[in-house]
Amino acid sequence: SLPTVAIIGRPNVGKSTLFNRLVGKKLALVDDQPGVTRDRREGEATLLGLDFRVIDTAGYEDLDAATLPGRMRQQTEAAVAQADVALFLIDSRAGIVPLDEEIARWLRASSTPVVIVANKAEGRAGETGVIEAMALGFGDPVQLSAEHGEGMADLFEGLLPYI
């Protein structure tokens, strides 16, 4: 079976944009099970000839802010637990916020390898965020623009050791 990649990160960092770019027309299924997996999407991705299954975590955007961390944590942990590698997206333009640091703590406690990805890195607006992302402890981030398709070769190189 195909190796599995989970896309993790707080709302609005570009997870679904990356998922859509990786999966394209080959979206395999929309998971509508109840509970934490309700809004999880899975698909088969191809990246420069590398084939893998990808999980996009979502579904918490509409929830009450007070319940957000717990729900995100459940989704994140469920996806990461079944993945061979987690892509941890941050928004280079917004920089690192406390919720990114909280997610980084969960990911450090997991045995799943993590590749950190500084998304929205097109142009120069993301430089500060890229530097801030280094401090999260997952090494040099892959600089990506999921929206414009820049940095996909670097993403390939980041994933290659794990899948």
Binding site for ligand GDP (CB under 6 A): 9, 11-17, 58, 119-120, 122, 145-148
Largest CA distance in the chain: 42
Nearer to ligand GDP, 11 or 70 (CB): 11
Nearer to ligand GDP, 85 or 90 (CB): 90
Q: Is 40 annotated as a binding residue?
A: no
Q: Is 81 annotated as a binding residue?
A: no
CB of 160 to ligand GDP, least distance (A): 21
Taking CB under 5 A as the criterion, the residue among 3, 16, 50, 69 binding Mg ion is: 16
Distance CA(87)–CA(115), nearest Å, equals: 5
Q: Token digits for 45?
A: 């991705």
CB of 7 to ligand GDP, least distance (A): 8
Distance CA(40)–CA(50), nearest Å, equals: 22
Nearer to Mg ion, 94 or 134 (CB): 94
90: left (phi over 0), alpha (psi -120 to 50) or beta: beta
The DSSP secondary structure of 60-87, one letter per residue, reads -TTS-GGGHHHHHHHHHHHHHHT-SEEE
CB of 76 to ligand GDP, least distance (A): 12
